[in-house]
């Protein structure tokens, strides 16, 4: 069904009359169909009425036909609410749709043909009705577009809020992860420090126990010629540590401290690591070239020949 036909049906014209107007005007536009209806609706409606009347006359008996011919014939349809006369059912339907009137009856009064002025006035009223309907449709479309735009803006705001919340959650998560890493790193450093202190305390206690143990006096030996002086009993040793990046660290250790203390010192203070990530390493000397084993880390520095001073190299394991 074309839009022009739908418009004519909405205005109150019968489907048969509207289809005839669309057919005669080639479905060009609604204005052309309205012009045709104004000029030809009465004639076409009369043809329809005549055709229907002929059919009824053929079906009726001769007596009924004679009585129909002699009886008073209705020449128009009257609106009982406003007393207007109409010559066709299409005009009645249009009037009812326009005014809301519903009380109609047949009348013997004949409706006079429309003058040119009346045709123009009727055309003007139809045009006004069309403009009114067109305006209502445009206002409805504008309201729908406005509502769609409001929904689009609201949806955009909601998506923006969701995105912002996700970004904030991600930042908060990263900050919490960084804080936890720092806390774990701090705890790890504290454990190393505590271990060093425990090692020192254990060595001190061991040295104190050895000092309190009575030692038997050596037997008196007969005097002998004086020999060269004995090596000095060093209490400390100064050790220089060279890191893989060329930087150096120097620290003084007790002569009786284990090589493990030097390893802990390197772990705590080395500056050549990338992003502070610990990595395994080994300790060695160049002159003579020697790489210390795990068993040697438990030996004192003086036993390893690292007293009173030494240079140690740090290399990747």
Q: Is residue 86 part of a domain?
A: yes
The whole-angstrom separation of Cα 250 and Cα 259 is: 15
Q: What is the pLDDT of residue 300?
A: 94
Name which residue leads in pLDDT, 223 or 78: 78
In this predicted structure, what is the pLDDT of residue 102? Answer: 85
Tell me, yes or no, whether 69 and 34 share the same domain.
Answer: yes
Shared domain check, 273 and 177: no
| CATH number of domain containing 281 | 3.10.20.90
Q: What pTM was computed for the model?
A: 0.30
User: By residue range, what is the domain housing residue 257?
Assistant: 236-316
pLDDT at 228: 46
Q: Is residue 176 part of a domain?
A: yes
CA dist 315 and 269 (Å) reads 15
In a domain, 212, yes or no: no
Give the pLDDT mean for 50-76.
59
Looking at the domain assignment, is residue 55 inside a domain?
yes
d(CA 252, CA 240): 9
Task: Tell me the average pLDDT across 271-289.
Answer: 84
Q: Which residues contact 130 (CB under 8 A, 6 or more apart)?
A: 7, 30, 34
pLDDT, average across residues 270-287: 84
Average pLDDT over residues 251-256: 94
Distances (CA, A) of 94 to 16, 77, 281, 310: 14, 13, 102, 118
- Cβ-count burial 133-159 (b if 16+ within 10 Å, e if not): eeeeeeeeeeeeeeeeeeeeeeeeeee
> What pLDDT does 38 receive?
77
Q: What is the mean pLDDT of residues 258-269?
A: 92
Mean pLDDT is highest, among 13-22, 55-64, 156-165, 272-281, for: 156-165
User: Among 135, 130, 112, 118, which Cα is nearest to 32's?
Assistant: 130
Rounded Cα gap, residues 174 and 310, in angstroms: 45
Based on the fold, state whether residues 100 and 52 are members of the same structural domain.
Answer: yes
Q: What does the DSSP 8-state code read for residue 231?
A: P
Distance CA 307, CA 239 (A): 8
Q: What is the pLDDT of residues 102-154, one digit of tens each?
A: 888 888 777 666 677 877 787 787 778 778 888 988 999 999 999 999 999 99
Count of domains in the chain? 3
How far is residue 223 from each of residues 202, 216, 218, 231, measured CA to CA in Å?
41, 20, 14, 21
What pLDDT is stored for residue 71 in this prediction?
43
Contact 107, 80 (CB under 8 A): no
Residues 164 and 92 in one domain: no
Same domain? For 12 and 103 the reply is: yes
Model confidence at 257, in pLDDT bands (50, 70, 90)? very high
The residue to which tokens 């050790």 are assigned: 239
Whether residue 13 sits in one domain with residue 98? yes
Could you tell me which of 298, 304, 268 has the C-alpha nearest to residue 285? 304
The pLDDT value recorded for residue 62 is: 57
> Same domain for 13 and 108?
yes
pLDDT at 1 over 80: no
Residue 4 or residue 160, greater confidence: 160
Q: Which two tokens stand for residue 21?
A: 């107007």
What DSSP string describes 25-49?
A: HTT--HHHHHHHHHHHHHHHHHHHH
Q: Mean of the pLDDT values across residues 216-243?
A: 68
**Residue-level pLDDT at 210:** 63
pLDDT for the residue 229: 47
Question: How many Å apart are CA 149 and CA 146, to the nearest integer?
Answer: 5
Distance CA 64, CA 178 (A): 107
In a domain, 312, yes or no: yes
Q: Is residue 223 part of a domain?
A: no
> What mean pLDDT do residues 212-226 have?
53
Let me know whether 85 and 31 are in one domain. yes
Q: Which is higher by pLDDT, 8 or 254? A: 254
User: Are 241 and 282 in contact, with CB atoms under 8 Å apart?
Assistant: no
């Amino acid at each position: 069904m074309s839009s022009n036909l739908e418009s004519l049906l909405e205005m109150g014209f019968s489907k048969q009359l509207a289809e005839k107007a669309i057919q005669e005007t080639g479905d060009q536009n609604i204005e052309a169909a309205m012009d045709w209806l104004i000029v030809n609706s009465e004639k076409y409606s009369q043809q329809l009425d005549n055709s229907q009347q002929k059919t009824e006359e053929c079906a009726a008996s001769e007596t009924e036909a004679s009585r129909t011919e002699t009886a008073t014939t209705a020449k128009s349809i009257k609106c009982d609410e406003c007393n207007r006369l109409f010559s066709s059912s299409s005009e009645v339907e249009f009037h009812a749709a326009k005014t809301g009137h519903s009380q109609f009856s047949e009348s013997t009064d004949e409706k006079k043909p429309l003058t040119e002025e009346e045709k123009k006035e009727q055309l003007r009223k139809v045009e006004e009705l069309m403009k009114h309907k067109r305006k209502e449709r445009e206002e409805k479309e504008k309201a729908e577009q406005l509502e769609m735009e409001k929904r689009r803006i609201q949806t955009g705001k909601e998506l923006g809020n969701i995105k912002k919340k996700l970004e904030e959650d991600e930042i908060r998560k990263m900050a919490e992860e960084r804080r936890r890493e720092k806390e774990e790193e701090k705890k790890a450093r504290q454990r190393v420090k505590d271990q060093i202190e425990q090692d020192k305390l254990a060595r001190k206690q061991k040295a104190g126990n050895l000092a309190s143990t009575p030692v038997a006096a050596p037997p008196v030996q007969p005097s002998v010629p004086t020999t060269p002086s004995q090596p000095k009993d060093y209490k400390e040793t100064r050790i220089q540590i060279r890191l893989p990046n060329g930087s150096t660290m120097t620290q003084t250790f007790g002569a009786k401290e284990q090589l493990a203390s030097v390893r802990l010192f390197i772990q705590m203070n080395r500056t050549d690591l990338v992003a502070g990530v610990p990595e395994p390493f080994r300790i060695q000397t160049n002159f003579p070239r020697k790489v210390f084993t795990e068993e040697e880390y438990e030996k004192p520095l003086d036993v390893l020949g690292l007293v009173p001073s030494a240079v140690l190299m740090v290399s990747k394991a």
